[in-house]
Chains A and B, each alone.
Chain A
Amino acid sequence: MGHLKDTAAIALVDCNNFYVSSERAFNPKLENKPVVVLSNNDGCVISRSNEAKQFIPMGAPLFQHEKVLEENEAEIFSSNYELYGDMSERVMNSLHSFTPEVEIYSIDEAFLGLQETQKSFECIGKEIQEKIFKWTNIPVGIGIAETKTLAKIANRIAKKSEKAKGVLNLYKSQYQDIALDRTLIGDVWGIGRASVRKLETINIKTALHFKNADLRWVKKNFTVVGGRTLLELRGVRCLPLELEPPPKESITCSRSFGEPITEYKPLQMAMSCYLMNAVEKMRYHRLAARNLTVFVETNRFQPENFYSNSFLYKSAYPSDNLFELQHWASHSIEKIYRENFTYKKAGVILSGLIPAEATTTRLYEEEKQNPKHERLNRAIDEINKKFGKGTVHLAIAHTGKWQMKRERMSPRYTTRIGEIMNIH
């Protein structure tokens, strides 16, 4: 655990209904109204305002709930990942002003390591909440406790309880067991659905029941992972903060098509666009790939005409050159494309990643790279960074109908100069 031995408490900071809150940050008309944000291709509801939670379940497919959304005058948005990504970065950067110990856990959650100071943890929690809202307009809930698992529970209650107003400190608190008693076993971090069924049959229904279970018995029946969760509930820190993100092992870009594809050409175009996306990410992390996988899939819900296949291209040397990687991808698609199928989804995976500067010199003349390519690649990176994704792309990746459906997207207020807020 290294320098973490000084960390007294762990705080979980979680943005409330993050996608909806990002929309509201730039659109005050959405306050106090039911608002939902849809997944890729406008398929399902993936973020709901508290008002919307009253009548629509998480993950509900749009087409099944259009009527109830209309009846409740809900505002519906396609996912605006450019905006959510930028707002997330702002929230996470702001957290760094409180402590250097920040583990970004997901787009809208972070664990913080807190040291003991003059101020109470509850007071620090309130300060974090206030500052994040002041700076970014995003409301957050904060749970503080000895361990990550307990911090998760504190956070859950902080968001639900009227009295907590979004901040709950359970660190060395006399209310810890009461909180655990009010938490269903299924809501404990790390306890899966299968375990819940198993535990309920022997009357372990709450987090408190589980905490008081026999450790040896838990380890035997729920492996070392279950044992760790039990210890964390008892305040023993088993899951340290992961301050440095683990090195990426692969980069994937895959999407469902807005409209199904049958022909070879549009499939190749779509794949090329995904490749550009993946390569952009890879180059940002200064990595090069040795392997490239392409995969295609038809509609899973039509088993009578289902086809799914992938091809792994293994290269002798790693590459971060878009033109070369496009070559590998084209070669691979040819291998797996079959006529008379209706493709619903495709993707590209770059793997075997190593730092780009560590790539070895190529021995044979035919493997040598055109030095102009690296300059061209860099220029593409820079232009797309400045003017937005896809400004410059391979001619083959020309956008078409297969692109993600985002019919109800709000402006990209913070990443596109042409879409900034209009002020009267």
Chain B
Amino acid sequence: MAVIKSEISELFKYTDGIRLDIPLFASPIKAGFPSPAEDYIENRIDLNRDLIKNPDSTFYGRAASDSMEPLIYTGSMLIIDRAAETCHGNIILAHISGEFCMKRLSITEKGMRLVSENPNYQPIRITGEMDFSVWGKIIHSIQSF
């Protein structure tokens, strides 16, 4: 029982979603001296709140190719927002002829192209007869070490 108890108190700390905690007070306050930081109390940084604007339109994916290296490495977790507007230069999740891919969207007077960061991959020119659509905008890539 003792083992279970100590494990549980550990687990509780980590169950509130992704959170990066920056402590407000380094040590407990002693009586007599009001904390000089008292006027500066703020909410902690919360990646869920700060990185994700719209949870209902946000989805996750995993980079499964090196086509966007060195910008997005294979295995990185991608955060995709369908609600975000996309324009020239954005990194998008597109689907072409039934396949999902991550690419940089390029819209110039020459037309629309999907460009890989990795020079080993050729840009794809989007033509009218292609089965193409933008699934969402890749707004973050999380790489773990």
Contacts and interface: CB of A to CB of B under 8 A. Distances in A.
Interface residues of A, number: 27
Given A382-B15, A424-B99, A135 B82 contact: yes
Interface stretch (A165-173, A204-212, A268-276, A415-423): A415-423
Nearest first, the 8 A-B pairs at minimum CB distance are A135-B57, A422-B64, A421-B61, A29-B98, A379-B8, A424-B65, A28-B95, A382-B15
Given A134-B82, A135-B82, A379-B8, A421 B59 contact: yes
A379 B12 CA distance: 7
Contact of B100 (A93, A385, A417, A424): A424
A21 B98 CA distance: 15
B61 A135 contact: no
A38 B10 CA distance: 41
B11 A136 contact: no
Contact of B4 (A376, A382, A421, A423): A376
Interface in A344-396: 372, 375-376, 379, 382-383, 385-386
B93 A423 contact: yes
B77 A421 contact: no
Given A136-B57, A137-B135, A421-B59, 11 more contacts: A31-B98, A94-B56, A135-B56, A136-B56, A376-B8, A382-B11, A414-B60, A421-B100, A422-B100, A423-B78, A423-B100
A372 B3 CA distance: 13
Given A94-B56, A379-B12, A382-B15, A372 B5 contact: yes
Contact of B54 (A135, A382, A386, A417): A135
B129 to A, nearest CB: 15
A413 interface: yes
B125 to A, nearest CB: 18
Nearest to B98: A29
Nearest to B95: A28
Contacts of B8: 375-376, 379
Interface string B74-93: 00011000110000000001
B102 A379 contact: no
B139 interface: no
Interface of A: 28-29, 31, 89-90, 93-94, 134-137, 372, 375-376, 379, 382-383, 385-386, 413-414, 417, 420-424
**Interface residue SS majority, chain A:** helix
Nearest to A33: B98
Contacts of A28: 95, 98-100, 133, 135
A417 B142 CA distance: 13
Interface in B110-142: 133, 135
Nearest to B64: A422
B101 interface: yes
Contacts of A89: 56
A134 B136 CA distance: 9
B1 interface: yes
B59 A414 contact: yes
Among B60, B65, B93, the most chain A Cβ lie within 10 Å of the Cβ of B60
A388 B54 CA distance: 23
Nearest to A370: B1
B44 interface: no
A176 to B, nearest CB: 34
A386 B102 CA distance: 28
B57 A90 contact: yes
A420 B77 contact: yes
Contacts of B61: 420-423
A93 B54 CA distance: 11
Interface string B33-69: 0000000000000000000001011011111110100
A344 B95 CA distance: 44
A382 B59 CA distance: 22
Nearest to B100: A423
Contacts of B57: 90, 94, 134-136
A417 B56 CA distance: 17
B74 to A, nearest CB: 10
Contacts of A31: 98
A134 B11 contact: no
A414 B61 CA distance: 9
A382 B8 CA distance: 10
Among A372, A379, A423, the most chain B Cβ lie within 10 Å of the Cβ of A423
